[in-house]
Amino acid sequence: MRYRRLDLNLLVALDALLSECSVSRAADRLCLGQSAASSALGRLRVHFNDPLLVQVGRRLEPTALGLELLPKVRAALALTREVVDAPLSFDPASCDRQITLVASDYVAGVLFPALSRALARVAPGIRLSLRDMPVTRDGDVVSEALDHRRSDCVIVPQRRLNPAYPHVPLMSDRLCCIVCAQQTQFAEGLSLADYCAAEHVVREFADGQNLAMDAAHLHESGVVRRVAVAVESFVLMPEFIVETARIATVFHRQAQRFAQRYPLRIHPAPLPFPEAVQVLQWHPYQEQDPAMRWFRGLLLEQARLLDQPGG
């Protein structure tokens, strides 16, 4: 490659020649024949209109221009190595970047606070932009998030996985029920008859289409709920449970967090729900991005920590 008529490969030769002050030693350093090293010196002399190395007795000495160029050439090559080796030497502590994540408010509430705290400790320059799951016409939230909304990662239930994008299982959970702790009729647990007879608080998207996993499974099982309140966010559900006889079906990790803030009782679901697996997906062009590879690893690590005591 040429820049202002200079073959940039000659900068490597210039560094070797000025450092060694010997054509033969420079040739050895460059793994070239001596004639090739001499040719490179000749081309450099023509470009700079200066001999660069001159004979002084039995040795070569750099000219004034040669002495001036040497530290600049070394700095240029050092910067070039830094650019070339960047994918191999990612430093989270010095990363300055915004990362956009798309996930349900369940994942955001359970996983992202710990993720944010970890970033504050090891990568304070990384900023998170958290977005809720998009509503799409065709149901492909992965393509919508990654291609159309230019997000960096999307976390979806396994049933919504798009196999055209790289993916890895991130976390799993189970569904359970929450009731108001003051309601004595649910003190001993929930039967299926109780579940069907009670009023329910459910999560629905803005268009009124309930895309939650529990709703899909209940529909397939032929179980009908009496929906009293539909909200767009999981985190609103406890507000409509407290001081009522209503029931909500939520993920267990989320229920545990709700019970720390509200007078709630957690019961196993009275019918078997499938395991809820959340999958992390990203765009293929980011497969080798060192920052995103590191970030995905951190996400997986934080998800694993959820399974540990106190997680």
What are the structural domains, with CATH classification, of the chain?
A: 2-85 (1.10.10.10), 92-172+276-307 (3.40.190.10), 175-268 (3.40.190.10)
The tens digit of pLDDT for each residue in 56-85 reads 888 889 999 989 988 888 888 777 776 665
Low-confidence ranges of the chain (pLDDT < 50): 3, 210
What are the beta bridge partners of residue 7?
Answer: 2
> Residue 89: what pLDDT?
66
Q: Output the pTM of the full model.
A: 0.69
- Enumerate the β-bridge partners of residue 250: 176
Residue of 179, 156, 140 whose CA lies nearest to 103? 156
Q: What is the pLDDT of residue 120?
A: 96
Which tokens belong to 288? 């080798």
Amino acid symbol at 271: L
Q: Which of 261, 231, 229, 248 is nearest to 183 (CA)?
A: 248
| Euclidean distance between CA atoms 61 and 209, whole angstroms | 81
Question: 190 and 267 in contact (C-beta within 8 Å)?
Answer: yes
Give residue-wise pLDDT tens across range 2-41. 545 666 677 888 888 888 898 988 888 788 888 888 888 8
Task: Give the pLDDT confidence score for residue 129 in this predicted structure.
Answer: 94
Distances (CA, A) of 276 to 169, 199, 273, 289: 11, 24, 8, 29
Please give the biggest Cα pair distance in the chain.
105
pLDDT of 86 reads 60
Q: What is the mean pLDDT of the chain?
A: 87
- In eight-state DSSP terms, residue 132 is P
pLDDT at 210: 46
